[in-house]
Structure 1
């Protein structure tokens, strides 16, 4: 009898531990909290280069999570990336808000940062953010630096030959 009671409590403890680990894994992976149902609205932003931005990436304003990226598509006319932003309804941004793709740390995850504008009119569902800044791609930056360095050295070699 005592053995079966002990096995019941051990089993219950293991089950609660598994539920806690699952919940923490869900939160770390970027899932939304279970009880948050305040609603959201969708706006769009067009970028020439999104780098490594993925659907589900956070959207932050002043470091505070205000939404998530819901979808990324390629516009067949402009060949720009069209990003769908699901913003929490409790946050109202002005119609001249700017969006830029930022990186957490040197090699961290990419997210969209919103900078509030000064227009008294607010964004509505379905609007497009017109002021955008694309991702800074580290490989492109290194390539530009190397090209500039090579051109500078080639110019100094030509002067030395004269």
Structure 2
């Protein structure tokens, strides 16, 4: 009888530990609370020529403060630009001339969208599109351009060598 009670409590403890690990991994992956359907907010759109490593559920920040999340990313079949749906919290209102850019946390960290408030007195409404955007800065492209420029600079003869000697 004592053994059955002990096994029951050990099993209950193990189940509670598994549930706690599942909850923590869900929260660490960017999930909302367990009871959360959709969070209150409004959706706006932005188009980028290159989103780099931006993913759905990525943070949207203004002045370093979390104001929303990336809801979805799709390719616009007409313009071949990435169309990003951004879900902003209702408590944050941005002007219709707000600008959006894709930034990186640290040198190789996660990518997020940074919003910079504009000066227009009219606010963004649900379904509006942010027109002022800056695409992601892709590290591989920068390194490739640097290496190309460096190689071209070393392959050209020096102007001093071409000039006649006095």
Fold conserved between structures, TM > 0.5: yes
Match of 1:76 in 2: 77
> Superposition RMSD on alpha carbons, in Å?
1.8
Within-5 A mapping of 1:1-162: 1-36=1-36, 38-157=39-158, 159-160=160-161
Q: Deviations over 1:111-130 (max 9, x none)?
A: 11111222222110000001
User: 2: CA distance between counterparts of 1:161 and 1:38?
Assistant: 68
Unpaired runs of 5+ residues, structure 2, are none
Structure 1: how far apart are the matches of 2:58 and 2:100? 14
Q: What is the count of residue pairs matched by the alignment?
A: 162
For the residues of structure 1 that align with 2:5 and 2:63, how far apart are their CA atoms? 52
Compare CA radii of gyration and give the structure with the larger one.
2
Secondary structure of the corresponding residue to residue 106 of structure 1 = coil
Q: Using the alignment, how far apart are the partners of 1:61 and 1:7 within structure 2?
A: 52
Q: Give the TM-score normalised by the residue count of structure 2.
A: 0.88
Structure 1: state its 5+ residue gaps.
none
